[in-house]
């Protein structure tokens, strides 16, 4: 890490592609045989990461034309992508269909009609999953995505009355359902409770189920130490609930899928930053880094500011400090009152588990600072060195 920081400067993201492959294989092993796995490209659209996942059998879940381009660059076939999101525009539907995307998640009747109209203009039929927002949820941990009013999904209690209209939208064919109940489940039992809720709800929908996406919720730390969760009983318990409620699943009716972003890629990434200054102010210590929310702002930008864990090569006494970046705003805070080694200007610090929600989920263009360099390595060898750039262009 020190050599890479000297060579390419800081802030610097380093992605270990071997770690991506390990997480991919671990998740496939934890799921029942035959499950398909969508990678949520929003977590990290880096093409080298995409190539590892696509080569290992993952499909891509996307929600913009930019993510579609990233998925293609990462080796994913557009025909195998799932296009999601509550605000699909005419332009992006046109681009997605022209590229070969044929599966969409519909968030409402109007969204389904929107998809169908675009598909008809392309002389094709879009295969659509209905995203379902259940009236209740099984667990209270993680970030809730169902069981409350939301822009995501069709309220489950309205489905019986809507089904005739949903099933007759020109340009579409309903092939199944899409659920996403939560993110980052607190425990394996909480995750299993969510999946039981999803499977029982899906079995009672009263609609054709050729394909069922039961969502994600797999847990991994973000910008702090630790390892992704391991799911020792997920396969056997998920098989049992599917045998009970959807007994045709072993013969492929329905085909089943999960999706994951952070769990697959968080552990592959480290952020390297330099200490610019250490300031004492009214009894508090502020460690000022050359990396702020413009570099590591993703989840804080979503109202989820989490303390980061800093690792410094070598031994040292610990102290309590607030970690801040170089931006001219008091909001540029990465961690408040966290334990850090004794730090001096010029020290190199490492923030672990930031392979997900790194540069592209941050305030990259704020204050005009350059984006961080991103280095992808595999088996100790550098695979690529890149930097994102924003340019102002003329629009006719």
153 pLDDT band, cuts 50/70/90, is: confident
Tell me what pLDDT residue 223 has: 86
List 376's β-bridge partners, or say none: 15, 384
Q: Could you tell me the pLDDT band of residue 315, with boundaries at 50, 70 and 90? A: low
Residue 144 confidence class, pLDDT cut points 50, 70, 90: very low
In this predicted structure, the answer to whether residue 66 has a pLDDT above a threshold of 70 is yes
105, 83 Cβ separation under 8 angstroms: yes
Mean pLDDT over 376-380 rounds to: 96
Q: What is the pTM of this model?
A: 0.93
Q: How many C-beta neighbours within 10 Å does residue 126 have?
A: 25
d(CA 128, CA 260): 20
The structural domains of the chain, ordered by start, are 2-12+267-387 (2.40.37.10), 31-260 (3.20.20.10)
pLDDT of res. 148? 57
| Closest CA relative to residue 81, chosen from 92, 68, 65 | 68
1 has pLDDT over 50: yes
Which runs of E-coded beta strand occur in the chain? Answer: 12-16, 36-40, 59-62, 82-83, 103-106, 126-133, 143-144, 154-155, 172-178, 182-183, 211-213, 255-260, 269-281, 284-289, 311-312, 318-324, 333-341, 348-351, 373-378, 381-387
- Using the Cα atoms of residue 226, residue 63, residue 81 and residue 179 in order, give the sign of their dihedral: positive
pLDDT for res 150: 65
Closest CA to 324 of 313, 310, 314: 310
Q: What is the pLDDT of residue 142?
A: 47
* Cα distance between residue 24 and residue 265, in whole Å: 9
The whole-angstrom separation of Cα 103 and Cα 173 is: 10
pLDDT band at 313 (very low <50, low <70, confident <90, very high): low
What pLDDT, on the 0 to 100 scale, is given for residue 206? 82
Q: Which two tokens stand for residue 318?
A: 């610990």
Distance from C-alpha of 181 to C-alpha of 30, rounded to nearest angstrom: 19
Task: Give the residue numbers marked as catalytic.
Answer: 328
Please give the DSSP secondary-structure letter assigned to residue 338: E
Token pair recorded at residue 255: 């085909």
Residue 214 · residue 256 · CB < 8 Å: yes
Residues pairing with 16 in the sheet = 377
Q: How far is it, in rounded angstroms, from Cα 13 to Cα 27?
A: 24
CA gap 86, 153 in Å, rounded: 8
- Taking the C-alpha atoms of residue 63 and residue 92, their distance in angstroms, rounded to an integer, is 9
Query: Residue 332 above 90 pLDDT?
Result: no
> Which pLDDT score is estimated for 157?
86
Q: How far apart are CA 139 and CA 189, in angstroms?
A: 9
Report how many helices (DSSP H) and strands (DSSP E) the chain contains, helices first: 11, 20
Percent of the chain with pLDDT over 90: 74
Mean pLDDT of the 102-128 span: 97
Would you state the pLDDT for residue 314? 54
pLDDT of 261 higher than 70: yes
Token readout for 136 is 């209740």
Contact 106, 112 (CB under 8 A): yes
For 188-212, give the secondary structure using H, E and C: HHHHHHHHHHHHHHHHCCCCCCCEE
Percent pLDDT > 70 in the chain is 91
Average pLDDT of the chain? 91
Exposure on the CB side of residue 337, measured as CA atoms within 13 A: 2
Q: What's the rounded Cα separation, in Å, for the pair 69 and 54?
A: 14
Beta strand pairing call for 269-281 and 12-16: antiparallel
* Dist. CA 376–CA 18, nearest whole Å: 10
**pLDDT tens digits for range 159-204:** 999 999 999 999 999 999 999 887 888 899 999 999 999 999 999 9
Q: Is a pLDDT exceeding 80 seen at residue 279?
A: yes
State the average pLDDT over residues 245-264. Answer: 96
């Amino acid at each position: 890490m020190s050599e890479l920081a000297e060579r390419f400067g800081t802030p610097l993201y380093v992605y270990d592609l071997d770690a991506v492959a390990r997480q991919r294989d671990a998740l496939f092993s934890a799921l029942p045989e035959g499950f398909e796995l969508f990678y949520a490209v929003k977590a990290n659209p880096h093409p080298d990461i995409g190539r590892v996942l696509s080569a290992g059998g993952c499909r891509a879940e996307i929600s913009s034309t930019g993510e579609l381009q990233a998925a293609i660059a990462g080796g994913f076939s557009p025909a195998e992508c799932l296009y999601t999101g509550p605000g699909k525009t005419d332009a992006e539907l046109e681009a997605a269909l022209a590229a070969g995307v044929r599966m969409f998640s519909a968030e409402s009747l109007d969204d389904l009609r929107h998809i169908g109209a675009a598909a008809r203009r392309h002389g094709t039929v879009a295969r659509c999953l209905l995203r379902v927002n259940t009236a209740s949820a099984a667990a209270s941990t993680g970030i809730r995505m169902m069981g409350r009013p939301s822009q995501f999904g069709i309220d489950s209690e309205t489905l019986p009355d809507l089904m005739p209209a949903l099933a007759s939208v020109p340009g579409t064919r309903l092939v199944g359902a899409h659920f996403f109940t939560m993110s980052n489940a607190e425990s394996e039992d909480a995750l299993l409770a969510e999946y039981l809720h999803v499977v029982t709800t899906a079995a009672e929908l009263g609609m054709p189920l050729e394909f069922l996406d039961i969502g994600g919720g797999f847990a991994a730390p973000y910008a702090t130490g630790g390892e992704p969760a391991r799911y020792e009983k997920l396969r056997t318990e998920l098989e049992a609930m599917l045998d009970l409620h959807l007994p045709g699943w072993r013969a492929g009716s329905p085909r089943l899928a999960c999706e994951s972003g952070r769990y697959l890629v968080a552990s592959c990434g480290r952020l390297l930053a330099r200490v610019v200054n250490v300031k004492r102010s009214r009894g508090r210590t502020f460690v000022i880094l050359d990396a702020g929310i413009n570099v590591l702002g993703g989840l804080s930008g979503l109202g989820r500011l989490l303390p980061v864990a800093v690792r410094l090569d070598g031994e040292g006494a610990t102290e309590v400090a607030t970690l801040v970046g170089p931006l001219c705003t008091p909001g540029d805070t990465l961690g408040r009152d966290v334990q850090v080694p004794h730090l001096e200007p010029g020290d190199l610090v490492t923030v672990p588990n930031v392979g997900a929600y790194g540069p592209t989920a941050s305030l990259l263009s704020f204050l005009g600072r350059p984006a961080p360099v991103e280095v992808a390595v595999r088996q100790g060898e550098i695979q690529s060195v890149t930097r994102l750039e924003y340019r102002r262009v003329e629009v006719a």
